[in-house]
Amino acid sequence: MSNHAHLLEAVTLAQAGDWDAAHNIAQDYSDSTANWIHAVLHKVEGDTWNSKYWYAKTGGRQYEDYADDIERELEALRQLLAFGLK
């Protein structure tokens, strides 16, 4: 399975509420998209410090970009991965 396909699976799991499985996938990669997924998952957990740490590794995305609209942020990740972008 490619990196993008695996990360898309992580987003799908996150959208279904399976945060642990999504986190297990995201932490296996270190590119900016995986780091963004990782950041969102920590945001959902309420771990602001750790979330901001991972946002700092995304290449420009910020904790505040989507405020608290996790579903919209996950959908943005899905679109990014669906088009094969980083």
Q: What are phi and psi of 10, to 5 degrees?
A: -60, -45
Domains in the chain: how many in total? Answer: 1
Q: What is the CA radius of gyration of the chain?
A: 11
* Residue 14 lies in domain: 3-82
Q: What is the pLDDT of residue 86?
A: 46
In angstroms, the CA 8 to CA 6 distance is 5
pTM of the full structure: 0.92
Q: What is the pLDDT of residue 68?
A: 80
Mind listing the pLDDT tens digit for each residue in 38-48?
A: 999 999 999 99
In angstroms, the CA 35 to CA 21 distance is 15
Mark out the alpha helices in the chain (DSSP H runs): 3-15, 19-26, 32-45, 48-55, 70-82
Mean pLDDT per block of 10 residues along the chain (86 residues) reads: 85 95 95 96 94 96 92 96 71
CA-closest candidate to residue 58, choices 30, 36, 25: 36
